[in-house]
Amino acid sequence: MRKKIVAGNWKMNLDYNEGLALFSEVVNMVKDEITGSQITVVCSPYIHLHSLAQLAKGYDKVAIGAQNAHQNESGAYTGEISAKMVRSTGAEYVILGHSERRQYFGEDNQLLAAKTDTALKNGLKPIFCIGETLEEREADQHFDVIKTQLKEGLGHLSTEQFEQVVIAYEPVWAIGTGKTASAEQAQEIHAFIRNEIAEAYNQEVADNTTILYGGSCNPKNAPELFAQADIDGGLIGGASLKSRDFTDIVKVFN
Ligand code: 13P
């Protein structure tokens, strides 16, 4: 059975001490709330990773992730962080292809395919983000955009590699805008993604893939979103910065 995941994406928020304080609060609040095959992942800035991984020790349903990692193994790339470095902190996940990275840092599907390979090679599980912009949705191109992002970003992976990947559907028009895709709109895309995976691999692989919804997910809308057949949890931005809101979202699966 596929895992349910509620993952927080702190983005570029919280200094070192603020991050540790929030994470300690979150762990205390969620540790008794994570049931069944659910896990909670906190994706922090790099500077927090090692300390958070230490704090998460002993809680096998709480994991840590980074928000990016470089496509090369090592070398003269001043200011960059490699997948191996991320893994060495104790982090297990890495967000790749977030729309903010695609939009502000020019990351395209080819680059993300390389980042995915390097992350997997170094033992990190990618949380691979896909999703259409408002213009693309209004032009009725959303299915094509998602199909291409999947194919070009992940289509080259073997079954064993793909089984390590979590997908996050993030409609760009619903990120940080307060707008959410309706549960029906989100389910429609999630079902489409699962079907694409079944065609590329097989039905069993598709059924085992965790597909998260991201885009203004909050304690109010999470119950309806997470009740959809193909929505296996969320990638949470703003609401992951408030321990109460994040915990309430984790509890939706109880
Ligand atoms: P918000 O939840 O703040 O809309 O952000 C979503 C997101 O980008 C998660 O990665």
Residue 35's pLDDT is 80
pLDDT in tens, 1-23: 899 999 999 999 999 999 999 99
DSSP code for 237: S
Q: How far, in Å, CA of 25 to CA of 31, rounded?
A: 10
Give the whole-angstrom CA distance, residue 120 versus residue 109.
16
Residue 205 burial (C-beta neighbours within 10 Å; 0-12, 13-18, 19+)? middle
Would you say 238 and 221 are in contact if contact means Cβ atoms under 8 Å apart?
Answer: no
In order of their start, the domains of the chain are 5-253 (3.20.20.70)
pLDDT in tens, 212-231: 999 999 999 999 999 999 99
Residue of the CA atom closest to atom 5 of ligand 1: 237
Q: Cβ(217) to ligand 1 under 6 A?
A: yes
Ligand 1 contacts CB of residue 171 (under 6 A):
no
Spacing, Cα 178 to ligand 1 middle (Å)? 9
Q: How confident is the model at residue 139 (pLDDT cuts 50, 70, 90)?
A: very high
Q: Which residues contact 29 (CB under 8 A, 6 or more apart)?
A: 243, 244, 247
pLDDT score of 176 more than 90: no
